[in-house]
């Protein structure tokens, strides 16, 4: 695998690398060989295996553990969605309750933005209000 791009340290495996890892583990290749093949450190491979380990039950009720690329990528996505700084409206509970009360009164996002702008509380754009409404109603997932 030749590329002109330089890899940075401490990066996650890509989705294609996770799929390759799953196939290589099923073919009983050891971690040091996999790390050389994927050009990643052994610790990165071990961390990825640890994250994506899933328990399966056999027909005789015994348990086996296997790596699942799909599960690993899903877990990583969940963890990464919780990172980053909090948005300003998540910090300000008064603003949050005010917007929520206006939404309960069936105000439109434009009307809420206009009222906040008129009162001088906050210069807010309608995209924020629309995004916030989607988040409250669970449409932004």
Exposure string for 125-135, b = 16+ CB within 10 A, e = fewer = eeebbebbbee
Environment class of residue 18 by beta-carbon count within 10 Å: exposed (0-12), middle (13-18) or buried (19+)?
Answer: buried
Band of the pLDDT at 113, cuts 50, 70, 90?
A: confident
User: Range with the lowest mean pLDDT among 6-10, 17-21, 41-45?
Assistant: 6-10
Contact 52, 106 (CB under 8 A): no
Band of the pLDDT at 94, cuts 50, 70, 90?
A: confident
What mean pLDDT comes out for the span 44-63?
91
This prediction's pTM: 0.57
What was the pLDDT predicted at 134?
65
What mean pLDDT comes out for the span 115-126?
69
Q: How far is CA 126 from the centre of its chain?
A: 26
Q: How far apart are CA 103 and CA 97, in angstroms?
A: 10
Band of the pLDDT at 27, cuts 50, 70, 90?
A: very high
What was the pLDDT predicted at 118?
81
Of 37, 85, 108, 28, the closest CA to residue 132 belongs to 108
- pLDDT of 141 over the 50 cut: no
- pLDDT of 64 over the 60 cut: yes
């Amino acid at each position: 695998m030749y590329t002109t791009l330089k890899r940075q340290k401490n990066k996650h495996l890509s989705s294609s690398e996770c799929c390759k890892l799953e196939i290589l583990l099923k073919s009983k290749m050891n971690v040091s060989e996999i790390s050389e093949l994927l050009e990643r450190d052994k610790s990165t491979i071990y961390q990825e295996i640890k994250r994506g380990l899933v328990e399966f039950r056999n027909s005789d009720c015994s348990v086996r553990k296997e790596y699942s690329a799909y599960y690993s990528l899903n877990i990583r996505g969940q963890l990464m969605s919780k990172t980053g700084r909090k948005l300003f409206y998540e910090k300000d509970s008064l603003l949050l309750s005010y917007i929520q009360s206006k939404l309960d009164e069936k105000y439109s996002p434009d009307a809420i933005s206009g009222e906040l702008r008129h009162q001088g509380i906050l210069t807010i754009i309608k995209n924020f209000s629309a995004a916030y409404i989607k988040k409250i109603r669970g449409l932004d997932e």
